[in-house]
């Protein structure tokens, strides 16, 4: 089972979140802040901080720490709040 991030397959275990799968493959950052273009990734891991926002299947603002990974998902980097530019 795998999903795609930045054009490459990311394997995952059953019941693993998108954020956990990305961390397990060495991807530590998948969002850039709107102001300052600073990298963000998994911080709290429980859906509170929103640092792990990511675009999944074209829908921005998904919390990578809460969304279960699914086979064939298209996951993409998000800039800011996902609605800019």
Over residues 6-32, the mean pLDDT reads 95
Q: Which domains does the chain have, with CATH numbers?
A: 2-77 (3.10.20.30)
pLDDT for 25-73, tens place per residue?
999 999 988 888 899 999 999 999 989 999 999 999 999 999 999 999 9
pLDDT above 90 for 80: no
pLDDT above 60 for 20: yes
Using CA atoms, how far apart are residues 32 and 56, in angstroms rounded to an integer? 15
pLDDT at 85: 39
pLDDT greater at residue 83 or residue 50: 50
Q: What would the DSSP string read from start to end of the chain?
A: -EEEETTEEEE--TT-BHHHHHHHTT----EE-TTT--EE--SSSSSSS-TTEEEETTEEEEETTTSBP-TT-EEE-EETTS---
Using CA atoms, how far apart are residues 30 and 51, in angstroms rounded to an integer? 9
């Amino acid at each position: 089972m795998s999903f795609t991030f930045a054009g490459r397959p990311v394997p995952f275990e059953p019941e693993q979140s998108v954020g956990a799968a990305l961390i397990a493959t060495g991807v530590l950052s998948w969002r850039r802040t709107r102001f300052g273009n600073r990298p963000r990734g998994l911080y709290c891991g429980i859906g509170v901080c929103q640092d792990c926002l990511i675009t999944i299947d074209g829908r921005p603002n998904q919390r990578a720490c809460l969304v279960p990974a699914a086979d064939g998902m298209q996951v993409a980097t998000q800039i800011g709040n996902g609605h800019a530019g």
